[in-house]
Homo-oligomer: A and B are copies of this chain.
Amino acid sequence: MRREIAMPTFHVELFEGRTVDQKRAFVKAVTAAAVETLGCTPESVDIIITDTKRENWATGGTLWSDPRPE
């Protein structure tokens, strides 16, 4: 497969609490997914993770640190 220059740069927001082992497996798997489907080199894949507190994320107007409405 011809290598294509795609330069995928990922920013990923996640709830805090992932371990380093989980992050290590995550970035390895996501990089492989990008390489396989985009045809880019592994070295061109950057992934930046943002650990996010539940009090800093809301869905449906409710913080994830609060109880969810039924």
Contact = CB atoms under 8 A, between A and B. Distances in A.
If over half of A's interface residues share one DSSP class (helix, strand or loop), that class is named, otherwise mixed; here it is mixed
Interface string A25-36: 111111111101
Copies in the complex: 6
A8 to B, nearest CB: 5
Nearest to A30: B33
A7 to B, nearest CB: 6
Contacts of A36: 29
Interface in A2-38: 5-15, 18, 20, 22-34, 36-38
Contacts of A22: 37-38
A12 B23 contact: no
